[in-house]
Every structure is written in C-alpha cells, then in structure tokens.
Structure 1
Amino acid sequence: MTSRFYDSFRLSLLIGSVFICGTAEGMLLPLIASLLEKEGVPVIINGAGTTALYLGMLLTLPFMEKPMQKLGYKTFLFTGLMMITVSLCLFPLWFNLGFWFLLRLVVGIGDSMLHFAAQTWITIGSPYKKRGRNIAIYGLSFGLGFAAGPLLVRLLVFGTAVPFITGALLCLIFLFPLLLLKNEYPEKNVQQEISLVNGFVRYGRATAAVWSGLVATFGYGFMEASLNNSFPVFALRSGFGLDDISSLLPVFIAGGLLTQLPIGMIGDRIGWKILLPLLSLSGAAAFAFSGVMSGSYYGLFITFMAAGMLIGSLYSLSMSYVSAILDRPLIPLGNILMSICYSIGAMAGPVVSNSLIVPVPKGGLFYSISAMLLIVSASSVIHQKIRTRKNRLSVKQNLGSAQ
C-alpha cells in the first residue's frame, strides 16, 4: 500500500466514522425526544434528559489529551465508536428514564472520544494547503450523517427497537475497518508536562487567543441541540406529525451541506473576520422568520433551508479559524476547548428552548436560537476590534523601540 493510497484510505475511514457518528446522534436526539413526549414526560424533563449526551462529552474532554498521547488516535476512535454501538443496542432493552440517561451519557463519552481523535488526526495529518478542504469535508460528512439520522425515526412504524438496532448495525460497518489503520500519536508539547499550573495557563492563553471562535462553537451547539430535541416537542404540540418532523429536520442540514465547501472557499479568500459575523447575523434573521412562520410546514421548510445555507457550516468555520491561530502542538487543546464549548451550548440549548415552548408557543424556540446567533455575531465583531487594536499598539511599540 503506497503512502498516498494509505493517506486517502485513512481519511476515508475517518470521514466515514464521523458520518456514522453524526447519523447515530442525529437519530438519537429526535427519536428519544419523540418517544418521551408520546409517553407524556414533562417537556422540561425531556429537554434536561438530552443534556446527558453532552454532559458525557463535557465531563471527559478535559482529560483526553494525555490519554490520547499514550494510546494513539486509532485506539480512541475504535473505543469511542464501540461505546456508541453497544449503547444503541441496549436502548430497547428497558424503557426507563434513568437507564436512558445513563446510556446517553455513555454515547456522549464515546462521541467525544471519536470526534476528538478524528478532528486532531485530520487537522494535524493534513498538508497545510489541504487542511481547510479536509476540515470542510469533515464538517460535510458529519452534516450528512446528522441529516440522515432523523430519517431513521420513521423506522418506528416497524417497532421501537428497529431504529436503535439499525443505527448500531451502521456503526459496525466502520468499526472493524478501523483496525486496519496504523496507530499514530499526536505531538507532545514538553512544556505541558511541567506542572498543573502551566496546564491552566495553556488553557487560558488558548481561550484568550480564540475566544470568539469558541463562542461560535457554543452557539452552534445551542442551535443544533435545540433543533434536534426541542423542535420535535414543539412540532408535536403544534399539530405536526412524525413524518413532518423527520422531513423538516434534515432540511436545515441539507442547506448547510449545499454551502459547506463554497463557504469554506470564500472564507479562505476574505477571512473569518468578515464572514463569521455576517453569516451569524443572517442566520439570526432566518430563525426569526422561522418564529413568525412557525405554524406553516412550508414556511419552516423555506426558513430552515435558508438558515442551514447561512449558518450550517458554523462549526467547521470556527474549527478552521482556531486551528489557523494556534501553534501545531496546541491544536489538540484547541479541539478540546471547542468541544467543551459545543457541549455546554448543546446542554443549554434544549433547556432554554424547551422552557420557552409553553410560555411562547408560537416561535419561542426559534427566537431563542436567533438571539444566540446575534450574540455570536456581536462577539466576532468585538473580538476583531480588540485584535486590531492590539496589533496597532504592538506595531507602534516596535517602531518606538526601533527608533
């Protein structure tokens, strides 16, 4: 196997694993939300239960950098996907809130392991000239999977267990081929081993350097989890059926897929500082229109498509920005910070959005997402102004010292 062929084979498997992970996550959120709503579980408890998946990500992410350095990318990928596969098989065994909360916690841990390894391996293992393209493909594959996931909810007509088992079988397709990959290890930053205090300093410096990118990641998690958990609850209460839900949710993802690569190419040309706030502001407007047209299937179809085209690539755009600013050894740390912010946003999204469904039944869900995207846009503008001011001061200081 030639080096070039192996690199392509490795990238294909990584992309495929991310795709199937997106499919499992895209299926699990609306599927469980719909099942619990049908069983009469209160809307707040339903939304809070969704946080288990992201809580699993959040609790384990800060501790993943060193274990992955010792175990390697391949081990992390395989273990993460195995945890997701086994959990999907266990869901149909017992319809219990506590049991399902625990399983979603395990899925979240497996999800974070898989994504952390895949993101870092793709980012560091890609040539610099192809890094942006490969990251865009990464985002595209996860988006495709996430779009396909809700379609599996329709399999409920054949039995409650069928969607879960189908998701597990799809995971197996990519699980065992991962064993064919060579295990590789991330670069070590010698300084990070010095002390715990130095570790906090590294986190602080990385956060200060890329904080607006982290806010964007938080906003994406808030938006994504709100749509996949809160929207099924909103839709069922508004008279929409399961077929409507399973067809509307992929529309947002499909919109993002249509523009993922073009936006990535435009971002390479004009830069994130213009594109990120502009797209966030436009996405906020699109979701505001979703709130206005929340009673119409075709109105939601159009606004979901528009929002997806504008803001569906927000995660990959912020990922490209973070990896471009941070030094190579700090890229895994940047990925951890992004995943933490995504997880916190995804935990907050369903709780905030579900709490608005009852007091603001006609569009409160969409207005909360719109407000979040306005915050993302504002933070991008503020951060850029701060960076510009610092750069000007640095230039003046350098000129003064030279004179």
Structure 2
Amino acid sequence: MFKSKISPSTFNYLILITVIVAAGISQGLLLPVLSIFLEQQGVSPGLNGLNAAALYIGSFAMTLAAERLLGALGFKKLIVGGLILVMIPLVLFPYFPDIKIWFVLRLIVGIGDSALHYAAQLWVLLVTTPEKRGRYISLYGMSYGLGFSIGPLGIKLLGFGDAVPFLVLFLGMAAVLILVLMKLPDTKPEKAEHAHLPERRFRRSFAWAWYALLPALLYGYMEAGMNSNFPVYGLRVGYDTDQIASLLPFIGIGGLFLQLPLGILSDRYGRKIILMIAGMGGGLAFMLVPLAGTHFWLTLVLLLIAGGLVGSFFSLGLAYAADILPKVLLPAANVVASFHFTIGSIVGPNLGGQLINWVSPGSMFVMLGCMYFIFGITGLSFRRKREAEFVLK
C-alpha cells in the first residue's frame, strides 16, 4: 500500500489555488463578455465603464466587513459564501439584459469575489512558513493571473448561444464549490479566539507595515489603468486595434513568468529588497514606453518587462506584511491591502484618462513609472519594527 505524500496543509493549499483559478476565470470572462453585450445594445463607452465599476464598489463594500465576517464564519464558510455570491449572478446575466439589473448583479459579484479572495489570501499567509511564504503567495498570484487569462477564451462560446459562457462557468464553479464543501476543513483565524480585537488595528497595521501595504495600491492602479487607458493611448499614438489587442496581454504574461522567480528570490534575499528592485526596474520600463512610439516589438518587450517586475507587487506586499506584523494584525492588514487595491483600481483609469486628455498620451506611462520608481527608492527609509516593539492591547 502506498501512502499519500501530500500533507493536509498542502492539500488545503491546492484547493485554495483551485478556488482562485476559478475566480480568475470568472472575472476574465465577465469583463469582456458583458462589455460586448452592452456595446451591442448601443450603450456608450462611458456608461459601459461606469457599469463595470460596480464590481469595485462591491469589492470595496466587502472589505469593510470582511475581517469581522471571517472571525464569525471562519475561512471555509466565507469562501463558500463568496463562491455562491459569484455563481448566482451567472445564471441571471443572460436572462435579464438590463443595464440597471447588471449593475446590481456586478455589485454582488464584487462582494463575493472580494470575500473569497480575502479568506483565501489570509489563509495562505497564515499557514505558510516565512522561508517559503514568497513562493507560495506568488503561486497564488500566478493562479489568479492564469485564470484571468483563460477567462476571455469563453467569448468563443457565444457562438453556441448568449447564455452558454455563463452556464459553463456556473457548472465549473459549482464543481469547485462541491470540492470546498467536501474537502476543506472549517477553521478560523487565531484572533477569533480572543474576546476582543486589538485597538486601532487598521491604523497600527498601516503604521508598522505601510511599505508592505502600498504595493496593493500601485498594483490596482496599474492593472485597472492599463486595461482602461492603454487602448486609448495606442489609438492616439498610431497603433491599430489588432496591435493593441496583441500588446495588452503581455503585461499579464510578464507577471505570470516572473511571479514565482521573484517569490523565490524574496525568500532568499528578503521581501523589501526585491520590492525595491522590482519597483525601480518596472518604473523605468514604464517610463520608456512612450519613447518606443509605434515600434511594436520594442513596446512589447517593455510591457513584458514592466508587467513581469510589478505583476507580483500585490502578492509580495502581502507576504512582506506577514513577515513583519504579528499574526493577530494580519486580518486587519489584509483589509487595508484590499482597500488600497480598490482605491487604486478606481483612481487608475480616471487619472490616466485625464493625463491623456490634458497632457499627452505618454504622460500616463510617465506618471505610472514615476510612482513605482519613487516607491522603490522610498524603501530606503522603511525600517521594520523589532518584535519587542509591538505593543497590542
């Protein structure tokens, strides 16, 4: 008889990875498919974008309650609730093609997506050892990126009927839900065992780990800003739509390639130094994009480098926060990171669009690059507290 060599913690991690791949596929599919439907209905691009913003509004609302919900429900129940909230709208979108109804449905998806991400991220951070935390959280980030890249392939299912992509995704997520219900243990974070939460925990987590929590803001700004503004930039400088469609994915592809190597390097050399180097390198690559003009291959290489270096910012930032904060503050730090990501996702497209309109198309890249470069240099001023300096009440 052969005994399984997979430990319970590794098996739980693989289930969490499966959940995150499914979440990535759902977001990668919903964004383009719903945009196509609204465009076919004659909805203006501005209103189309506003409708898509409902996802981030729902995500923001969830961050305000995530910590207490996790303490009350535990990891498994919060993940199950998040999956159900994402699944329900999937069967309603194709049968209620009204922009107002879709706004509400997207709010629900945003709430569910934020819930399962919050629980899964925190679980990974709490159960991994410091010496392997970088690679584990990087694999987590890669899994979401992989799912997000697979999602748009569901557009091809529209040829079989408008409802088919949604129903296929629903069935896939139902299978993941069954796996979670049957195999994932029902646990709660350690702080749920205490009678009260630490005072000023959000302020303290930011004050003690601000350098580890700012990457979430920068990543949200970059991801949402590039997806919304790069097509406009491309058209303004002279790319055609096919070239734009070919270039944009390489930001994410770079992230997929370098997430794990950067995670492993951060385990070996330290999270802060890797964040500093990646921030400065990625910032310089972004600032060079306008100089490439309409040189397709040069632009592709710069986007690949920039996306690869900063594509792991969210996951590496969380891993760094787990390194330097007491475990009791990690749930609060995770809320702060999610809040930062949401704010960045809202600000990115709006600020980038204003820069394109009022300054120049390339100014969006100059601003983005400067933000990452300044972040990298600022790391010189950050000093982590020694364990004896933490005072919790």
Could you list the per-position Cα deviations for residues 86-131 of structure 1 after superposition, in whole angstroms to 9, with x for gaps in the alignment? 2222222233322222111111101111011101111112234332
2:205 paired with 1:206: yes
How much does 1:23 deviate? Answer: 1.6
For 1:193, what is the secondary structure of its paired residue? coil
**Conserved 8 A contact 1:29-1:229:** no
The answer as to 2:178 corresponding to 1:176 is yes
For the Cα contact (< 8 Å) 2:272–2:379, is it kept in 1? no
Deviations 1:200-246 (A, max 9, x none): x21111111121222211010111122334445666887745x7666
Shift of 1:374: 2.2
- 5, 8, 11: which is aligned to 1:6? 8
Map 1:196-235 → 2, pairs under 5 A: 199=199, 201-231=200-230
Which residue in 1 is equivalent to 2:321?
322
**Structure 1 residue 40 displacement after superposition:** 4.8
How far, CA to CA, are the matches of 2:72 and 2:78 in structure 1? 10
Q: Alpha-carbon deviation of 1:70?
A: 1.9
- Which ranges in structure 1 are unaligned for 5 or more consecutive residues? 395-403
1:21/1:145 contact within 8 Å kept: yes
Q: In 2, distance between residues paired with 1:96 and 1:190?
A: 45
Aligned 1:4-403 pairs, distance under 5 A: 4-37=6-39, 39-180=41-182, 181-188=184-191, 193=196, 199=199, 201-231=200-230, 240-241=240-241, 247-293=246-292, 295=294, 298-356=297-355, 363-364=361-362, 367-387=363-383
Q: Given residue 258 of structure 1, which amino acid in structure 2 is its aligned partner?
A: F
Do the aligned partners of 2:59 and 2:111 also contact (CA within 8 Å) in 1? yes
Q: Secondary structure at the match of 2:97?
A: coil
Give the whole-Å Cα distance in 1 for the aligned partners of 2:40 and 2:280. 36
Alignment CA distance shift 1:95-1:34 (3 Å): same
Q: Deviations over 1:32-57 (max 9, x none)?
A: 34544555544443333332111111
Call closer, same or farther: CA 1:376–1:147 in 2, change over 3 Å.
same
Q: Secondary structure at the match of 1:185?
A: coil
- What CA deviation, in whole Å up to 9, does each residue of 1:329-379 have, x standing for no partner? 11111111111111111122223334455557x845xx4255234224323
Whether contact under 8 Å (2:254, 2:308) holds in the other structure is yes
The alpha carbon displacement at 1:260 in A equals: 1.1
Do the aligned partners of residues 298 and 161 (structure 1) sit closer, same or farther apart at CA in structure 2, a change above 3 Å counting?
farther
Larger deviation, residues 178-187 vs 283-292: 283-292
Change (3 A) 1:359 1:371: closer
Instruction: Give the SS at the match of 1:95.
Output: coil
The answer on whether the counterparts of 1:76 and 1:117 sit within 8 Å (CA) in structure 2 is yes
Assess, with a 3 A threshold, how the Cα gap between structure 1 residues 209 and 191 changes in structure 2: closer, same or farther: farther
When structure 1 is superposed on structure 2, of 18-27 and 28-37 the one drifting more is 28-37
Which has the higher mean CA deviation after the structures are superposed, 102-111 or 298-307? 298-307
Contact 2:83 2:173 in 1 (8 A): yes
Q: CA 1:176–1:38 in 2, change beyond 3 Å: closer, same or farther? A: same
Counting matched residue pairs gives 383
| Structure 1 Cα separation of the partners of residues 35 and 235 of structure 2 | 10
Whole-Å separation in 1 of the counterparts to 2:36 and 2:95: 18
The structure-2 alpha-carbon separation of the partners of 1:176 and 1:346, relative to structure 1 and needing over 3 Å to count, comes to same
CA RMSD of aligned residues (A): 3.0
**Length-normalised TM-score, structure 2:** 0.85
- Cα distance change of structure 1 residues 375 and 325 upon mapping to structure 2, 3 Å threshold: same
Report the CA distance shift for 1:233/1:172 in structure 2 as closer, same or farther (over 3 A). Answer: farther
Residues in 2 aligned to 1:204 and 1:239: alpha-carbon distance in whole angstroms: 45
Q: Unmatched 5+ residue regions in structure 2?
A: none
Identity of aligned residues (%): 36
